[in-house]
Structure 1
């Protein structure tokens, strides 16, 4: 799962050294990380494995480590916690990612959702809303969900 996350993060515009300073409100890396934190926290339980894997992915994708990594993760957590809605993050991703990258991001969100082996209604709702806001259609959202959890039959009418 997290190899795919690392690859995705590496491909986001602006990926590279975390020491590059940019306007946080337009940083697609921070927007993606904040949305991943948001979906990890949706069920009220953040597994240590989820957090460790996100940190490893950020380290490998952006070359962040030590205090720099701690600051980036803390910033993503703060952004996720303080957000009044998802639009601030999704609008950045929609501007910076092409259609295929947006679909891939939804797949990564589903993988985070299923990291604990189950999907909570709140997690499902967040991924659905993010998909809508970044322009990923229902069919692609459901296909990515099936890919993330092939053991479940997630058929929706009208696919």
Structure 2
């Protein structure tokens, strides 16, 4: 009996690692990995970017703090193992509709502007990701303007 319980616990923890609540093909892992990549593209993740990353993931995916931390950890691991953006964008294209894919681009802009300004690396990353997600350039630019606060309320109402 004790051996069966020990084996069950070992199977569940896989060498001490707790089982993930996120499946390997979960679109949230792909989206979070793009956000992690966005935060790190300029060489380091600043504290405002780290805070915003946590906030955006928690809010958009309606997670508690523990699940958010777990998703961020999985996203970091996925980003470190990725060789390109296509792995993530292909999964998102299969899982999300047009509006959902645009929301991912918007979340990327939210991470970029967490520290106040966009670098050319961040601009280029989002341009490439939006293209792979089939988000038109006009929409990508409009999302950037809205997130950065460049658009006035009057322009948004028209």
**Are 1:42 and 1:123, in contact at CA under 8 Å, matched by a contact in 2?**
yes
Partner of residue 133, structure 1 = 132
The alignment's C-alpha RMSD in Å is: 2.2
**Are 1:32 and 1:93, in contact at CA under 8 Å, matched by a contact in 2?**
yes
**Are 1:106 and 1:131, in contact at CA under 8 Å, matched by a contact in 2?**
yes
Partner of residue 63, structure 2 = 62
Cα deviation 1:66-123 (Å, max 9, x = unaligned) = xx55443222111112210001100111111110111122111111111111111110
Tell me how far 1:64 sits from its aligned partner: 4.7
Aligned length: 131
Tell me how far 1:58 sits from its aligned partner: 4.0
- Structure showing greater radius of gyration is 2
| 1:13-28 → structure 2 map (5 Å cutoff) | 20=21, 22=23, 24=24, 26-28=25-27
Change (3 A) 1:137 1:47: same
Change (3 A) 1:75 1:132: same
TM-score, normalization by structure 1: 0.73
Tell me how far 1:56 sits from its aligned partner: 4.1
C-alpha distance in 2 between matches for 1:42 and 1:83: 14
Please list every run of 5 or more consecutive structure 2 residues that lacks an aligned counterpart in the other structure: 1-18, 152-158
1:29 aligns with 2:28: yes
Change (3 A) 1:71 1:100: closer
TM-score, normalization by structure 2: 0.73
C-alpha distance in 2 between matches for 1:37 and 1:110: 12
